[in-house]
Chain A
Amino acid sequence: EADIYQTPRYLVIGTGKKITLECSQTMGHDKMYWYQQDPGMELHLIHYSYGVNSTEKGDLSSESTVSRIRTEHFPLTLESARPSHTSQYLCASSESGGTSITQYFGPGTRLTVL
């Protein structure tokens, strides 16, 4: 079973608030990812990291930012939340290496911005 955790699981906040979604993994994986998941849509990669101090934007433009100061921790921050940010956010990690691309997912954070 994968050891990757996300908090909070559910969050309802008002417009304009700053929020941080937490993601931690205990598997020592170098690679970590943030996806946005909406019903009936494919998962959209919004950020990824190959290791400490490495972060890149994904395919889907996002107003969020991420940091990777420690291998196990990959938080996502929204400076000013808006209703358009309402979605499910999934964090994932994977090992380095050519064929080690199985991704292990956390349970997700369901964000609602009012």
Chain B
Amino acid sequence: AQSVTQLDSQVPVFEEAPVELRCNYSSSVSVYLFWYVQYPNQGLQLLLKYLSGSTLVKSINGFEAEFNKSQTSFHLRKPSVHISDTAEYFCAVSPSGGYQKVTFGTGTKLQVIP
């Protein structure tokens, strides 16, 4: 079984400031890791994912996350946020290799303040 912990339910940050959304996971096997974003009144969209290879993965809109196996973390970062980044962000984990169930965290609401 696996689990995901997102300790911060809400993160307010001023526009153009950096942000880090924390995600820790627990699993007895190797994993795939994901960040999904949910804008108001919409479904979730994949932001970025780690499957294998480089531990640093990036999205097209400036977010990045680093897989840290020793700390079992996959924190999401952006050096300078925009108003349009206001959304809820979900970390997710799945055992690697073949289809396996994806477990989602409870989400972190990022509020960008003008």
Which chain A residues have a beta carbon within 8 Å of chain B's beta carbons? 2, 4, 6, 31, 35, 40-43, 45, 50, 59, 90, 92, 96, 98-99, 101-108
Contacts and interface: CB of A to CB of B under 8 A. Distances in A.
Contact of A105 (B32, B43, B100): B43
Interface of B: 4, 9, 32, 34, 36, 41-46, 49, 51, 90, 94, 97-107
Contacts of B42: 107-108
Contacts of A103: 44, 46, 102
Contacts, number: 54
B105 A42 contact: yes
Given A92-B44, A102-B46, 16 more contacts: A2-B45, A6-B43, A31-B99, A40-B106, A42-B4, A42-B106, A43-B104, A45-B101, A96-B99, A98-B98, A101-B102, A102-B34, A102-B49, A104-B46, A105-B45, A106-B43
A43 B45 contact: no
B44 to A, nearest CB: 4
